[in-house]
Structure 1
């Protein structure tokens, strides 16, 4: 602070938000912070409930930045985190890369339907995972809530539900 009134100099103030790049305009329904609860399970793990926060943001480039974090509902203890980039294409396809806090990485391709507010993703590559072989992610906005389902296949189990959640914009 170096202004006489104790304020920060203009050069340190936050810049205005960047203009929305036309490439991500069809996915504006995702932009923002979402919070809610989910549940998970798989044949090899006990079922569990979790709290979650997703953030979809942009920098004016033709890409959406994605971050996710989850926590145990009872204690608030951190559980999982991941981040990545979503690149929508004008033809309704989308490319996504995600790095998980476990070290697993995903390269996904899919499609989006802006009118119905749906995104469907399927793994092209799951890297640094000895057992996970395939992951799908389906997102939809219905009645202002963001619903998603993650399905997973492993070396010993076919593709089946692993996670599902309902999140609300905050």
Structure 2
């Protein structure tokens, strides 16, 4: 410990992966690529995206950040961040706060063998129109692919976003 700052001294070795995070360690790092969005109530669009999954090693938690931008101008579009908490029984709890003010509490499952995470909203807070969000993340041929489905007060569950990202 550094007595002046009361924090651990920097170490040159990488942090140890918590045993509950190990099955999802393939996610750790930065992913970048492109996605497509649409919904019955909006025009279709394309976007650039970067996801970052981090882990400090001492707790069974993965930090998550995401940002998107317009492909033609680089102008920021959306951002969100949160935490993923894998459980020993193959379930996972996720909290996400979006730049729009919307907050998601999701629960789901992960399959470490097939490298698939499936999430469904338990609660969508601070959203006047959104009532449900489902997310599926899957590692396919080295690409992290995801799909997001959304339901609003006016539209039942429909595809909303999909992307393919490469690890940097």
* TM-score interval (norm. to shorter): over 0.9
Q: Return the alpha-carbon distance in structure 2 between the equivalents of residues 29 and 36 of structure 1.
A: 17
Q: Tell me, which stretches of 5 or more residues in structure 1 are unaligned?
A: 1-10
SS in 2 for 1:22: coil
CA RMSD of aligned residues (A): 1.4
Q: Return the alpha-carbon distance in structure 2 between the equivalents of residues 104 and 43 of structure 1.
A: 20
The match for 2:128 among 116, 127, 130 is: 130
Q: Return the alpha-carbon distance in structure 2 between the equivalents of residues 152 and 105 of structure 1.
A: 14
Q: Return the alpha-carbon distance in structure 1 between the equivalents of residues 89 and 9 of structure 2.
A: 40
Q: Tell me, which stretches of 5 or more residues in structure 2 are unaligned?
A: 1-7
The match for 1:56 among 39, 53, 62 is: 53
Measured against aligned partners, the alpha-carbon deviations of 1:95-139 in whole angstroms (never above 9, x if no partner) come to 000000000000000000000000000000000000000000000
Residue in 2 that maps onto 1:20: 17
Residue in 2 that maps onto 1:89: 87
SS in 2 for 1:26: helix
Residue in 1 that maps onto 2:38: 41
The match for 2:146 among 145, 148, 160 is: 148
Residue in 2 that maps onto 1:70: 68
Shift of 1:17: 3.0
Deviation beyond 2 Å, 4+ runs, structure 1: 11-17
Shift of 1:29: 1.4
Shift of 1:44: 1.2
Q: Return the alpha-carbon distance in structure 1 between the equivalents of residues 146 and 68 of structure 2.
A: 14
**Structure with max Cα Rg:** 1
Q: Return the alpha-carbon distance in structure 2 between the equivalents of residues 14 and 43 of structure 1.
A: 51
Work out the number of aligned pairs and report it: 160
Residue in 1 that maps onto 2:112: 114
Residue in 1 that maps onto 2:137: 139
Q: Return the alpha-carbon distance in structure 1 between the equivalents of residues 87 and 132 of structure 2.
A: 23
